[in-house]
Amino acid sequence: MTDTEPLLQVRNLETQFHTDEGIVRAVDGVSFDVYPGETVCIVGESGSGKTVTIESITRILQMPPGEIVGGEVIFDGIDLTTASEKEIRRIRGDRISHVFQNPQGSLNPVYTVGAQIREAIQANRDVGKKAAREQAIELLDEVGIPEAGARIDDYPHEFSGGMRQRVVIAIALAGEPDLLLADEPTTALDVTIEAQIIDLLLRLQEERDMAIVFVTHDLGVVAEIADRVVVMYASKVMEQGHVHEIFDRPAHPYTRALLDCLPGPDGVTPIEGTLPNPLDHPDGCRFAARCEYAIEPCFVGEHPSLLPADGDEDHLVSCLLYRDGHDESVIDREPRRADPFAVGDDT
Amino acid sequence: MSETGHPLLVVRNLEKHFPVQAGVFKREVGRIRAVDGISFSIEKGETFGLVGESGCGKSTAAKAIMHLIEPTGGEVIFDGKNISGMSKDERRGFRRQAQMIFQDPESSFDPRMTIGESVAEPLRVNGMTDRERRRSIVEGLLERVGLDAGDADRYPHEFSGGQKQRIGLARALSINPELLVADEPVSALDVSIQAEILSLMEDLQREFNLAILIISHNLGVIRQISDAVGVMYVGELVERGPTEDVFGDPAHPYTRALLSSIPRPDPHIERSGMELTGDVPSPSDPPPGCRFHTRCPEVIQPDGLELDQTDWRTILTLADRVYRGDIDPQTVRESVLSVAEDGEREPEDVTLSEFEGRLREDFDIQQELEPTAVDTTIHHAIEALYEERPEVAAERLQETFATPCRDSRPASTTVEGDQVAACHLLETSVEASETVPATGDD
């Protein structure tokens, strides 16, 4: 992974919202890379800034009230934060596509699904109506819609929720993107349907060698699909690293606390306290007020910058205790194995 | 259940059907069997979790139990009394004894009332006229659910979702109910907040000796908080029993599928891959026999047939569509032409082999499936469809592929102790175990 160039580089991204009550710093200096063909999960609770982060990448964010005020998003040598509207439109849907949480909202109820997929194909490729229709059928078949040839002329309401999400994925694939940005694409679905969609995304990724940035609050989904994980809290990246590092030896106290929130056989361990006010982030580390290891310096200055944990350049943590002169060994990095569903049929 | 005393809540063959009406005279043309004969009971101080996918009827069941909507069949017995037979006064008493909280804490409060007024409302409605006393009870409750006494003067919009759910709990508990019915109480909340609310519910249950009926689609939540669980599928309870048994050793294939679909928070584990095909059937037209047979990965094969389960599943899916008269030969013909980009020919010109190829591909049925007799049946059935004789196709398939899972409704079978499931596989294994002496006796 390290020999290849990143496909996407997000550098110190800062996105704000202007509201009546003041400026909300929704994304406050976020950096991460995405390499070709890998899956990066951005995980965090509501209000952590994960959705705004990926909406800033292709600038699909409502602007105003939103505004990208700093940082860079480099995709294939172009800084998307400063690219012209024309340039970014060419990239959107063609090289970078989106899948959202709610498939209803992504489909137009008055057009057949065939027409909508065809439109996506023809927006990016110079092909005739007939060829586009043929490709649309192939795409529907590829995303697992049974009897694709017969269903292409159906309207969105004639599909179930899971099938609609498959249609949305077919549309996202129409431009043969290098990068798929998926925002909670399975959250609105039932668990058996969610499993189908996750398997579909993993299969498509392998077949097409496509990178995926997947935003979710569900650590189960993260464990299943992520190669690397970015943990966000209160508009900042708290930790990032390989999925195994994050689940086995989380470095940041917040990551561990989040893992311990999952219901397990011994109950749940809630995180004490509440999320900081996004209008007025506290000084120092954003998590300090809820952190059991917080020491005085944690409450002053800027939020700690990302540093390698265990000397590993691929596993970064923003916690003061990992700085020289502090002792990170006080942090208990063994998460309670929250796996209530070890039914014993596998493993 | 227990020999001494009676359970606090007994639900017996509860049914809630909604009529589907049409025309000026509102003639009933069908019924949505949202809840179709479910039974379970809850002891004092016990938590029962009702789990299932959206549309399975679990929320309707909760409303019918509370008699917020009148059930169309069966009975609900609360503290020994049948709710349907209760007088107006008794009903009012029941409403006091059984409180409900909902998924969306936003819409549960009047935005113009202070939190204190909202929490005190059940007290006021139930005749506590002393303002001061109401106030002091409310303050005590707010503190008990982890808020400040002073929060009583604030308005709903000043609280987060998790805090509102805490307030909802305070309000529900203000008149010391025996039963709390919680419909998806944490679904709208973040994981860390969910954890807080669940552990609060557990504390309150111990303290107030509450019986809780919790409804959720989230198996983790149900597992966390319930002593016993019921798994619903298309209006029916397919399995119920003590939480540890149902989750640890699920007896119904649907429960197994549900559990194995959950993304597990451990990157070292691969999901076991028992993926369900298809969507949940509609409760307005539930499948005959076992309602899960249209998606089940373990459908019983007819005697003498030993197909690979994957092949068997694809055949059943085709057969199911044929039985339902869902396959329109004309559409298949058109789809052959549209896939082939053939604008020259008319649908009538599509050959049998093209037609068969299309259907086999659509349903993932292999060409030349072994044994030959199976393949021949499929071929003949498709031929009958091609000739626009769907009844012949259905007959052919039914002759060779008849399964008890479609032909008869499975009865509830005791698996072990209090664990009960409705699946034909269990019925046969019970028969088998009868011939084998000395199995678990208790």
pLDDT at A333: 86
- The alpha carbon of residue A307 is apart from the nearest alpha carbon of chain B, in Å, by 24
On whether the CB atoms of residues B188 and B161 are closer than 8 A, the answer is yes
Q: Which of A54-58, A302-306, A324-328 has the lowest mean pLDDT?
A: A324-328
User: What is the tens place of the pLDDT at every residue in A132-173?
Assistant: 888 899 889 888 887 788 788 899 888 888 888 889 999 988
Interface A-B, measured as beta-carbon pairs within 8 A, has a size of: 160
Which residues, other chains included, contact B87 with Cβ-Cβ below 8 Å and sequence gap of 6+? none
On whether the CB atoms of residues B36 and B11 are closer than 8 A, the answer is no
- The alpha carbon of residue B267 is apart from the nearest alpha carbon of chain A, in Å, by 4
List A55's β-bridge partners, or say none: none
Angle (CA) B42 B46 B49, round 5°: 70
On whether the CB atoms of residues B368 and B378 are closer than 8 A, the answer is no
Distances from the Cα of A155 to the Cα of A107, A133, A146, A162, angstroms: 9, 15, 15, 15
Instruction: State the DSSP H helix or E strand holding residue B334, giving kind and residue range, or none if neither.
Output: helix B329-339
Amino acid identity of B223? Answer: R
B102 C-beta neighbours (distance < 10 Å), count: 19
Tell me whether A261 touches chain B (CB under 8 Å).
yes
- The alpha carbon of residue A264 is apart from the nearest alpha carbon of chain B, in Å, by 7
Q: Given the DSSP bridges, would you call strands A8-19 and A22-34 parallel, antiparallel or unpaired?
A: antiparallel
List B237's β-bridge partners, or say none: B232
| Euclidean distance between CA atoms A124 and B274, whole angstroms | 37
Closest-approach residue (CA) in chain A for B276: A192
Q: Is A259 in contact with B265 (Cβ distance < 8 A)? A: yes
| Euclidean distance between CA atoms B61 and B16, whole angstroms | 8
Tell me whether A102 touches chain B (CB under 8 Å).
no
Tell me whether A269 touches chain B (CB under 8 Å).
yes
Q: Is A340 in contact with B224 (Cβ distance < 8 A)? A: yes
What are the structure tokens assigned to A308, written together?
């390698």
pLDDT at B273: 58
Rounded to 5, what percent of chain A is helix, strand, coil? 35, 25, 45
**pLDDT bracket for residue A341 (50, 70, 90):** low
pLDDT at B429: 58
| Euclidean distance between CA atoms A204 and A97, whole angstroms | 14
| Euclidean distance between CA atoms B248 and B105, whole angstroms | 33
Tell me whether A346 touches chain B (CB under 8 Å).
yes
Mutate to test the interface with A, among B264, B330, B337 (most CBs of A within 10 A): B264
User: Domain spans of chain A?
Assistant: 107-176, 244-344
Instruction: State the DSSP H helix or E strand holding residue B134, giving kind and residue range, or none if neither.
Output: helix B131-144
Q: Which residues in chain A have their CB less than 8 angstroms from residue B196's CB? A: 270
Handedness of CA B206, B207, B208, B214 (dihedral sign): negative
pLDDT at A339: 58
Q: Is B331 in contact with A338 (Cβ distance < 8 A)? A: no
pLDDT at B428: 67
On whether the CB atoms of residues B216 and B22 are closer than 8 A, the answer is no
Q: Is B191 in contact with A45 (Cβ distance < 8 A)? A: yes
Q: Which residues in chain A have their CB less than 8 angstroms from residue B279's CB? A: 160, 162-163, 193
Nearest residue to A53 (alpha-carbon basis) of A61, A65, A62: A61
**Count of residues making up chain A:** 347
Q: Is B263 in contact with A341 (Cβ distance < 8 A)? A: no
| Euclidean distance between CA atoms A301 and A283, whole angstroms | 6
Q: Given the DSSP bridges, would you call strands B9-22 and B73-78 parallel, antiparallel or unpaired?
A: antiparallel
Q: Which residues in chain B have their CB less than 8 angstroms from residue A268's CB? A: 194-195, 198-199, 224
pLDDT at A345: 40
What are the structure tokens assigned to A287, written together?
């998590």
Tokens 């498939």, located at residue: A103
| Euclidean distance between CA atoms B59 and B106, whole angstroms | 18
- The alpha carbon of residue B197 is apart from the nearest alpha carbon of chain A, in Å, by 9
Per-residue pLDDT of chain B (442 residues; tens, 9 = 90+): 444 578 999 999 999 999 888 888 878 888 889 999 999 999 999 999 999 988 889 989 999 999 999 999 999 999 999 999 999 999 989 989 999 988 877 778 888 999 999 999 988 888 888 889 999 999 999 999 989 998 999 998 888 888 889 999 999 999 889 999 999 988 878 877 888 889 899 999 998 899 999 999 888 889 889 999 999 999 999 999 999 999 999 999 999 998 888 888 888 887 765 678 777 888 888 999 999 999 999 999 998 888 988 899 999 999 999 998 888 888 888 888 877 776 788 888 889 999 999 899 888 888 888 788 899 999 999 999 999 999 999 999 999 999 999 999 999 999 999 999 999 999 865 444 443 333 333 3
Q: Is A262 in contact with B191 (Cβ distance < 8 A)? A: yes
Which residues, other chains included, contact B169 with Cβ-Cβ below 8 Å and sequence gap of 6+? B101, B145, B197, B200, B201, B204
| Whether the predicted interface score ipTM is above 0.85 | no
Q: Which residues in chain B have their CB less than 8 angstroms from residue A226's CB? A: 267
| Euclidean distance between CA atoms B123 and B171, whole angstroms | 9
| Euclidean distance between CA atoms A172 and A99, whole angstroms | 7
DSSP B246: H
- Residue A323 pLDDT exceeds 70: yes
Helix and strand numbers (H, E) in chain A are 11, 12
Q: Is B261 in contact with A191 (Cβ distance < 8 A)? A: yes
Q: Is A347 in contact with B335 (Cβ distance < 8 A)? A: no
Tokens 């359970």, located at residue: B7
pLDDT at B338: 75
Tell me whether A337 touches chain B (CB under 8 Å).
yes
Which residues, other chains included, contact A89 with Cβ-Cβ below 8 Å and sequence gap of 6+? none
Tell me whether A152 touches chain B (CB under 8 Å).
yes
pLDDT at B344: 81
**Among residues of chain A, what percentage have pLDDT more than 70?**
94
List A211's β-bridge partners, or say none: A179
Q: Is A261 in contact with B195 (Cβ distance < 8 A)? A: yes
Amino acid identity of B205? Answer: Q
Q: Is A341 in contact with B262 (Cβ distance < 8 A)? A: yes
Q: Is B224 in contact with A198 (Cβ distance < 8 A)? A: no
Q: Which residues in chain A have their CB less than 8 angstroms from residue B292's CB? A: none
pLDDT at A14: 95
Residue B23, by phi and psi: left (phi above 0), alpha (psi -120 to 50) or beta? left
Nearest residue to A7 (alpha-carbon basis) of A128, A177, A156: A177
List B179's β-bridge partners, or say none: B98, B211
pLDDT at A151: 85
Residue B223, by phi and psi: left (phi above 0), alpha (psi -120 to 50) or beta? alpha
pLDDT at B2: 44
On whether the CB atoms of residues A36 and A206 are closer than 8 A, the answer is no
